[in-house]
Structure 1
Amino acid sequence: MAQAIFFISAALLLYNYLLFPAGIILMARMGGSKVAETLSTASESLPTVTLVIAAYNEERVIEAKILNSLDLDYPVELLRILVVSDGSTDSTPQIVQRFQNKGVLSLHDPERRGKTAALNRAVASATSDIVVFSDANNIFDKNALRQLVKHFANPRVGGVCGLKQIYHSAERESSQGDSLYWKYESAIKESESRLGSITNADGEIFAVRRSLYQPVDNMLINDDAEITFILIKQGYRVLYERHAVSHEQASIRIEDDFHVKVRMISGGFQTIARHWAFLLPPRSWFAFNFVSHKLLRWLAPEFMILIAISSLWLISSPFFLAMIILQGAFYALAVLGWITREGIGRRAVFYIPFYLCAMNLAALHGLWRFLAGTQTTQWRKAER
């Protein structure tokens, strides 16, 4: 039994981290080019767009975000910028008001009901063909909107997600890990998109056909995941466009990144609980990808624990003794990564094991919060 637990857990971990990404990337390269070529044809007439910026106590960054949005390469008569700042207690609403004469609309409610409720209220006030969701701390490339909306020339496309890039910063503890993670995610998402649909859009740069939007339950944590499911269940595709780029700073402290991941993964299990009949057992390509890409990723810490326990149980075997030594070396590198995580002294050989362990601890904590029912829709802001 212990051997079976070890090999099944190790196989699932290996499949999620290496075999599934390699397999789907290879499949996309072999059979996805025709789809990508078909979807690259843009319509002659651009759609109207509402850019919805979610901002909670973002007085430090909101002006830069608005200036960036006003500078985007998109016809001013087709673009409406809307900032929803519900619950903000700083000067965010007042800063937004200063841009009224440039067509920026401020939606502010003193009551804080969570990001999902704020987005629902923003979309309800939109009349455009396309709604693009963004956060206050993201900066779009100048051509990002054009790159997103070109795919809506295809009537079967319901949503398009852009590429999230992390600014490099030696002073920010999460910069190296987040940058590597999003490059890894980008390769998977681009392949998923070529073969069908991505499994989860990123709310920092996510365009949606407004006519398909359905109000999201205010109690849901991951609004972008729920919107993805809404579009998929209506029979539409959600694509990934790597030339639509959004930039943001990583968290200054790894602790802040940890709490962001806890909230996201707790919300991920909430999504699975809400859509389990659609996902389990996988009966569609989307469901198979979701289980392979997301569910197994969120269960990785449990697999790591089972691998360690089963190895210790079988330590009398030379093979499993070697497995214990390898695991011990990996976790020792993670501890050194924790010690050297600050400043320019960090090294990838230490930092990557540390980052993987920290994020898997966050996944474990996220599952616990979901099971305990203690995760709310309100989030702890990361220092950036």
Structure 2
Amino acid sequence: MIGVYAIATALFLVLAVHPFVIYPWTLRFFPRRPSAPASRIGTDRPALAICMSAYNEARSIRRRMELLIEAADAYGPATIHVYADGPRDGTIEILREFGDRIDLVVSEERKGKTYGMNLLVTRSAAELLMFTDANVLHDVDVIAPLVAPFADPAVGCVSARLVYSNPDDSPAAATGAAYWRKEEAIKAVESETVGLIGVDGAMFVLRRELHRAPPPHLIDDLYLSLVVLAQGKRLLSSPDALVYERSATEAEEELVRKRRIACQAINVHRALWPQLRRLPWPAFYGYASHRMLKWMTPFLLLGAAVSALPLAVALFGLEIVLGVACAGTVALVAGQALRFGPAQRVVAALLSLLGVALGVVDSVWGGKTYAVWQPAESVRD
């Protein structure tokens, strides 16, 4: 039986680390297809419709709009469409200051980001659609490198690379930033090999002809990008298009955020599974490794712990195992209370994993959607 427990523990651990270690390592064996440089865009630029949804963003929306207008003007043939999802903090009044430059749609009640983005898409006929979040910052020349790869007709969607700008604010922010650096590193290799497998909503561009309006209860960024993938087009990550946003500074906020994101992601995967299961094998390998298996990480680690427990008891004895477990728990609790950095980072990572697990449960057994949500306050500072 000891051998069975050892094999089970090893199997669970291998599956848990596969999306973050084994998968990116195996990508080196796939043919590399570098993305197009920004210089290929030329002067004849395709029309672009920039779509953004905003909730209570009064603290940052003026600067966001100034940056977005500067970027649109630098690109050229771009229109800006903004949906205000029932904000109550003065966001609408600030947005109306830019009424001569943007197409503003105001909802008096909250209907959700996806509803708003679907509405904005219908308000232009541009060849390319750009989706972006209301809390990101970027340089003025961010759009050109996102559009350049569309010179290749096989490319259907291009994503900016997201950087968390406040890793020094707290251990929770440092943990979130470190995780996202790893994610972006994987995406960079993925983009040049099997193709990017889905995008986040910070900023991305896709061909209008590939747009399929997602149901309002599903998150639009992952849905739209996976639909493009299911239509046989490549997704790329642009190394020259960087956007910046803040990570949550409190571990409890990150738990709530990860719970929502995991639930939304699993809902999209379940809705699109009939299409995604027919992907060509390189793309399906990337999808299963990077987009499905990683949401199982908390359960796989729990399985490894449960399998390792009888193994540890057999090797070291029950008293020692219980003593180590109790000492570790006390050390974490004390470290968190004393604001000891390493302990706080461990707690932040554990709460993040708990949030993912709760989100999966919300989707599969709870039927939740998170069509509307309250963003973390520390993200908006």
**Is the structural similarity TM-score above 0.5?**
yes
SS in 2 for 1:108: strand
Aligned to 1:15: 18
- Larger displacement relative to structure 2 (201-210 or 351-360): 351-360
The Cα offsets for residues 360-384 of structure 1, whole Å up to 9 and x where unpaired, read as 1111111121121134311122103
- Larger displacement relative to structure 2 (372-381 or 160-169): 372-381
Query: Per-residue deviation at 1:38?
Result: 5.4
SS in 2 for 1:374: coil
Aligned to 1:369: 362
Tell me if 1:97 matches 2:96.
Answer: yes
Tell me if 1:233 matches 2:230.
Answer: yes
Query: Per-residue deviation at 1:90?
Result: 2.5
Aligned to 1:380: 374
C-alpha contact 2:49 2:126 (8 A) present in aligned 1: yes
SS in 2 for 1:36: coil
C-alpha contact 1:57 1:90 (8 A) present in aligned 2: yes
SS in 1 for 2:312: coil
For 2:370, give the aligned amino acid: T
Query: Per-residue deviation at 1:83?
Result: 1.4
Query: Per-residue deviation at 1:57?
Result: 1.3
- Unpaired stretches in structure 1, ≥5 consecutive residues: none
- Larger displacement relative to structure 2 (255-264 or 67-76): 67-76
Aligned to 2:135: 137
Please report the TM-score for the alignment, with normalisation by the length of structure 1.
Answer: 0.88
- Larger displacement relative to structure 2 (75-84 or 207-216): 75-84
Q: Equivalent residues in 2 for 1:58-207 (5 A)?
A: 58-72=57-71, 74-75=73-74, 77-101=76-100, 103-168=101-166, 170-207=168-205
- Larger displacement relative to structure 2 (114-123 or 252-261): 252-261
For 1:109, give the aligned amino acid: S
Tell me if 1:6 matches 2:25.
Answer: no
Partner Cα distance (1:212, 1:289) in 2: 21
Tell me if 1:244 matches 2:236.
Answer: no
For 2:228, give the aligned amino acid: L
Tell me the percent identity: 23
SS in 1 for 2:192: helix
**Correspondence for 1:290 among 282, 287, 312:** 287
Partner Cα distance (1:163, 1:176) in 2: 18
Tell me if 1:353 matches 2:346.
Answer: yes
Query: Per-residue deviation at 1:262?
Result: 0.5
Partner Cα distance (1:194, 1:165) in 2: 19
Flag the structure with more relative contact order, 1 or 2, with Cα contacts below 8 A and sequence separation at least 6. Answer: 2
SS in 2 for 1:42: helix
RMSD: 2.7
For 2:256, give the aligned amino acid: H
Query: Per-residue deviation at 1:7?
Result: 2.4
Give the direction of change, closer, same or farther, for the CA distance of 1:334–1:307 in structure 2 (3 Å limit): farther
The Cα offsets for residues 26-45 of structure 1, whole Å up to 9 and x where unpaired, read as 346xx41xx21656662321
Give the direction of change, closer, same or farther, for the CA distance of 1:328–1:71 in structure 2 (3 Å limit): farther
Partner Cα distance (2:369, 2:212) in 1: 23
Please report the TM-score for the alignment, with normalisation by the length of structure 2.
Answer: 0.88
- Larger displacement relative to structure 2 (303-312 or 72-81): 72-81
Query: Per-residue deviation at 1:86?
Result: 2.1
Query: Per-residue deviation at 1:71?
Result: 2.1
Query: Per-residue deviation at 1:282?
Result: 7.5
The Cα offsets for residues 166-225 of structure 1, whole Å up to 9 and x where unpaired, read as 1125334532112111110111101111013211201111111122211111121x2111
